[in-house]
Amino acid sequence: MKRTGWFWFLLLFAAIAAIVGVSFFYESTPSGTDIIKVDNFLLGTLVEIKAWDQTLDEEAVRASIQSAFDAMRRVESEMSVNMKGSIVHQINDSAGISKVGATSSVIAVLDIAERVSELSGGAFDVRIGAVSHLWDFTSQKAARPPDPKAIAKAVRLITLASVEFSATTGTVYLPVKGMRLDLGGIAKGYAIDVASKALRKAGLGNFIVDAGGDMFVAGTRPNGRKWRIGVRHPRRLGDLMCTLLLSDRAVVTSGDYERFFVYEGRRYHHILDPATGYPATGCQSVTVIAKEATTADALATAIFVMGPERGLKLADRLQDVECLIVGADGARILSRGFGQYLPAVMAVSP
């Protein structure tokens, strides 16, 4: 049987929906307030934007959504580590050679990344690129860990020198040859925030920007209630651990089930510990709720690498940040204020 392009698109959609950390529940809406949905594939995942507005017609809403996608594409073109010609690609190619001109967006992301790195004691580090490019979590061939000597050498590069960047000069420099940036743990969150700002600028106040399960939700559903977001179970495909009620918040999940391979009976996933160069071992998943997706994205990675005990302490001392941690043993750990986002009749399932 011949399979059309639509068949493969729907198959891809189903596959992504099965692995993302959080899910959007679509519900019927009052007449005249239908939720308009547009999706595109970018940032290495399926991105969906859903919005509704009583004062704007459908054409205006769709135009606003398109402007949000355009903003996200600009972020991807600047920060993708794999896209030849991106600013990050140029920075990596020029390591130990010369400074590279960068946009204000790249500088802003590096600034936030530096702060999260300090908060987490180095658990989050965009210099992880020296190690991450050694690993292959996307190949269809039988995967295996990189050579231990290569990993050890790359780990030394992570802390050998700081990333030099300046908003004044608009430049970024990696002082040592072999250093590499990888903004994969923060760029998607930043793209979500950029899209959200574009939608607000266009006059939309009720929307969801969902990039492969990492999202920002604004306003309410057409019925006036908060958006309902499901957090998936890291080990039971298709099951949810809990449902969140959110408005004007970002929610991001980092999980060891997103990209991984099994070699000689051991699971190797894409969330790497900068201290070892190997996948972090303390968690199955971490879900972070924050005011901005950039912060939530970086913190989800940081807390995952830190592990349940240290990660929980970090979340509890930060304002407007809550988290749900699933430890390596499957234990669920909630930050002090996480319960405010759960329906009164619902808890986190085992």
CATH class of 5-56+204-341: alpha beta
Max CA pair span of the chain? 63
The answer to whether 323 and 288 have CB atoms below 8 angstroms apart is: yes
Per-residue confidence (pLDDT) for residue 143, from 0 to 100: 84
Distance, in Å, from the CA atom of 335 to the CA atom of 233, rounded to the nearest integer, reads 18
Summarised one tens digit per residue, pLDDT across range 223-253 is 999 999 999 999 998 899 999 999 999 999 9
Q: Specify the amino acid at residue 5.
A: G
The answer to whether 128 and 117 have CB atoms below 8 angstroms apart is: no
Q: Is 320 exposed, middle or buried (0-12, 13-18, 19+ CB in 10 A)?
A: exposed
Q: Specify the amino acid at residue 249.
A: R
Domain ranges of the chain: 5-56+204-341
Angle at Cα 253 formed by Cα 249 and Cα 257, nearest 5°? 165
The answer to whether 247 and 220 have CB atoms below 8 angstroms apart is: yes
Q: Is the pLDDT of residue 7 over 80?
A: no
Q: How confident is the model at residue 26 (pLDDT cuts 50, 70, 90)?
A: very low
Sheet architecture: strand order including 171-173? 100-101, 171-173, 164-166
Pick from 29-43, 53-67, 164-178, 273-287: least confident: 29-43
26-32 — which CB contacts under 8 Å span 24+ positions?
27/221, 27/223, 27/228, 29/221, 29/222, 29/223, 30/222, 30/223
Decide the pairing of beta strands 283-290 and 249-255. Answer: antiparallel
Q: Which residues contact 239 (CB under 8 A, 6 or more apart)?
A: 232, 233, 349
Summarised one tens digit per residue, pLDDT across range 44-59 is 999 999 999 988 899 9
The answer to whether 72 and 47 have CB atoms below 8 angstroms apart is: yes
The DSSP output letter for 162 is -
Per-residue confidence (pLDDT) for residue 225, from 0 to 100: 96
**pTM (2 d.p.):** 0.90
Q: Is 236 exposed, middle or buried (0-12, 13-18, 19+ CB in 10 A)?
A: exposed
Distance, in Å, from the CA atom of 287 to the CA atom of 284, rounded to the nearest integer, reads 10
Per-residue confidence (pLDDT) for residue 140, from 0 to 100: 57
* pLDDT above 70 coverage of the chain, percent: 88
Q: How confident is the model at residue 137 (pLDDT cuts 50, 70, 90)?
A: confident
- Dihedral angle sign, alpha carbons of residues 20, 121, 177, 155: negative
Summarised one tens digit per residue, pLDDT across range 102-113 is 999 999 999 999
CB-CB neighbours of 216 under 10 Å: 28
Over the chain, what is the mean pLDDT? 90
Q: How confident is the model at residue 12 (pLDDT cuts 50, 70, 90)?
A: very low
DSSP 272-297: B-TTTSSB--SEEEEEEEESSHHHHH
